[in-house]
Amino acid sequence: MSDEDWLAQRFEENRPRLRSVAYRMLGSAAEADDAVQEAWFRLSRTDAAELHNLGGWLTTVVSRVALDMLRSRTSRREDPLGDDGELTAGEAAADPEHEALLADAVGPALLVVLDSLAPAERLAFVLHDLFAMPFDEIAVILERTPAATRQLASRARRRVQGARTPSADPARQRLVVDAFLAASRNGQFEDLIALLDPEVVLHADDTSVANARAGQAAGAPQLISRLRGATAVAQVFSGRAAHAETVLVDGVPAAAWAPDGRPRALFRFTFDGDRITAIDMVGDPDRLGELEVTLLRG
């Protein structure tokens, strides 16, 4: 086996982890693939014989690429931390068992929460809490001290833990979804605004964005992967959703477009009382197949 073939094989062995890191950082499968491909380009221009930990090197590279992509995507301000990185008592006394449960819980439904974090916070949280990378290694990527990096992850963790959780009343949630769909169909813009939290976030997967782009001639909305704010989100749905219906997704009220009795698109909601704080638009067939969807028609 040639050196080039050996290097390509080792890279492919690492690809699933690299893609997972990039996806958690970026929330977009297409951007994650771009970040992984950039890592391969950089590896192909590097003397692999000098790399003592290829997996660690690749993770560092894809993390830096993803961080650059996040920073170019957003204009969010990152609050500076002092290099001393002093932690409050609450930050220092983290519960490892709770942190492990939290890490397991972070999936597509919480991408909208991760999207609220500043790029450095998101990287520190994802690499440490989800991929168990030590703070001293993350600090090198962020060009901060390990203590300051620990504080970034702690601050991100508090925001994830404090993210609004759904109302415990499924019947009330269903009424909210019914009202949202009715307002959407009838073009009742002000009613939509009233149902949406002012800071509502819409996250659309790559398939949903592509489908909307292909259907614009037929009246589909202009859609991007993330929209924030009640007005912007209401504009996406107003006068649409004519064929959407209320369903249960893993037991939680949601909406679906299921023209033949099989969901082709899902709209998953996060609720705060009678308001919607997040919408996760799912069009990817693989993701749809992983969800338990119960049609409520009839």
Q: What is the pLDDT of residues 155-180, one digit of tens each?
A: 888 877 665 454 457 888 888 898 99
Distances (CA, A) of 19 to 58, 67, 106, 260: 11, 14, 16, 34
Q: What is the pLDDT of residues 115-131, one digit of tens each?
A: 778 899 999 998 988 88
Question: For residue 287, which phi and psi values (nearest 5 degrees)?
Answer: -65, -40
Domain limits, the chain: 3-161, 170-295
3-state helix/strand/coil string of the chain? CCHHHHHHHHHHHHHHHHHHHHHHHHCCHHHHHHHHHHHHHHHHCCCHHHCCCHHHHHHHHHHHHHHHHHHHHCCCCCCCCCCCCCCCHHHHCCCHHHHHHHHHHCCHHHHHHHCCCCHHHHHHHHHHHHCCCCHHHHHHHHCCCHHHHHHHHHHHHHHHHCCCCCCCCHHHHHHHHHHHHHHHHCCCHHHHHHHEEEEEEEEECHHHHHHHHHCHHHCCCCCCCEEECHHHHHHHHCCCCCCEEEEEECCEEEEEECCCCCCCEEEEEEEECCEEEEEEEECCHHHHHHCCEEECCC
pTM of the model: 0.50
> What pLDDT is recorded for position 45?
85
Q: What is the pLDDT of residues 260-288, one digit of tens each?
A: 778 888 999 988 888 899 999 998 888 88
> What pLDDT is recorded for position 35?
92
Q: What is the pLDDT of residues 204-227, one digit of tens each?
A: 888 888 888 887 776 677 788 888
Q: What is the pLDDT of residues 88-115, one digit of tens each?
A: 333 333 444 444 444 444 444 456 667 7
CATH code matching the domain that covers 170-295, chosen among 3.90.1150.10, 3.40.1050.10, 3.10.450.50, 3.30.1330.10: 3.10.450.50
Q: What is the pLDDT of residues 7-48, one digit of tens each?
A: 888 889 988 889 888 888 887 778 888 999 999 999 888 877
- 1: pLDDT confidence band, cut at 50, 70 and 90? low
- Is residue 295 scored above 60 in pLDDT? yes
Q: What is the architecture of the domain spanning 3-161?
A: Up-down Bundle (1.20)
- For 61-65, what is the mean pLDDT? 93
Question: For residue 98, which phi and psi values (nearest 5 degrees)?
Answer: -65, -40
- For 66-80, what is the mean pLDDT? 65
C-alpha to C-alpha distance for 110 and 270, rounded to whole angstroms: 10
> What pLDDT is recorded for position 231?
92
> What pLDDT is recorded for position 112?
60
C-alpha to C-alpha distance for 207 and 210, rounded to whole angstroms: 5
C-alpha to C-alpha distance for 144 and 141, rounded to whole angstroms: 8
Kind of pairing between the strands at 275-282 and 265-272 = antiparallel
**∠167-258-221 over CA atoms, to 5°?**
80
